[in-house]
A = this chain, B = another copy of it.
């Protein structure tokens, strides 16, 4: 038998509230790590672009002539005007033109032209490319890294966890629905809530019917030492209930199953890849989905929930999409309310630190990751 697990302290309460600590996390994580910002399908043609924001930084994401993703700060090298005044659009003729003084850049960021003659012999256009940002894709998701010298490639950063959903053909799937919501909570509150099911019986009665293990207040066997299988199907990881195949309100879907899926994972009906700190992806037998995070302040978080299908399935069964959204939309709303409760209660001066119980080993894992990022592990 293993030793009894220990309780352990949560993070210092001021880490969820203080503007200074928020700034520290922006620098240590959001301005340094690979951050998911969208899908390559959002910019299908060379020159198509969208603008995203991480912390206070506006980033242009575009596709060059060779269909390679490119990203730049949305700032002209001249006197600092923004380049893109719209959130999405197309750069015509491969030219990125500042709207203020028409300094003109290529899709590769090189300064191609300034207006009129440059009456100065000390001006070298080579000194003034757009401020470039590291960008790469994984399974159709675009990630950027604002660090000028990324310490890892995207592949290294995603690591083993990304392989969880390896057999899902996400790179060939398309967005069938997307919802954006803003929560009054620190971004870490979201991840804590995401990574424990101690709250599930109270907060998610509908979900607990689809995933019976959640009704026991745990996410998996690692939350409960001494755990014993109840039946043959029970492998200690959560799975949808007997007779169900997927995450919908009734646990079923009329849509065809995806091809090439790992059989064991398909049988569970749900497979998570937790890509801290900006996204998680979930594979279900018939569809996939993702949730992206973006902190808007110490106590404000933006979530973007996205549902994916193969394009041919989406085209053949448009009437089935609404049914796919039903359970997850509900769960997201329930979690959002709980996250806001948690944030509100943290303002008590007496509550300097909470406590994690054994069922919250997943929260401890999030905390270890964060402490490591902040150099406090």
Contacts and interface: CB of A to CB of B under 8 A. Distances in A.
B338 A81 contact: yes
A357 B58 contact: no
A231 B251 CA distance: 83
Given A10-B79, A73-B351, A80-B346, A119 B226 contact: yes
A75 B350 CA distance: 9
Given A75-B348, A78-B355, A78-B357, 4 more contacts: A5-B120, A73-B351, A75-B347, A102-B201
Nearest to A55: B349
A216 B198 CA distance: 68
A5 B77 contact: no
A225 interface: yes
A13 B78 CA distance: 12
A351 B201 CA distance: 50
This protein's copies in its complex: 3
B131 A347 contact: no
Contact of A82 (B146, B226, B341): B341
A99 interface: yes
A351 B115 contact: no
Interface stretch (A121-129, A149-157, A240-248, A300-308): A121-129
Contacts of A358: 118-120
A7 interface: yes
Interface string A86-128: 0000000000000111100000000000111011111100001
A109 to B, nearest CB: 12
Contacts of A270: none
B7 A116 contact: no
B82 A357 contact: no
Contact of A6 (B4, B82, B122): B122
Interface in A344-371: 344-351, 354-359, 363
A354 B77 CA distance: 6
A345 B217 contact: no
A227 B255 CA distance: 73
B346 A217 contact: no
27 contacts: A4-B120, A4-B121, A6-B122, A10-B79, A31-B349, A57-B347, A58-B344, A73-B348, A74-B345, A75-B346, A75-B348, A76-B345, A77-B351, A79-B192, A79-B342, A79-B355, A81-B338, A81-B341, A82-B341, A99-B202, A100-B338, A101-B202, A102-B201, A115-B201, A118-B357, A119-B225, A131-B348
Contact of A345 (B82, B120, B344, B357): B82
Contact of A57 (B4, B217, B348, B357): B348
Interface residues of A, number: 69
B202 A100 contact: yes
Given A100-B199, A101-B199, A338-B100, A119 B4 contact: yes
A311 B355 CA distance: 48
Contacts of A121: 4
A200 to B, nearest CB: 10
Contact of A354 (B79, B116, B199, B218): B79
A56 interface: yes
A20 to B, nearest CB: 15
A100 B351 contact: no
A123 B356 CA distance: 10
A26 B324 CA distance: 51
Contacts of A102: 201-202
A203 interface: yes
A120 B341 contact: no
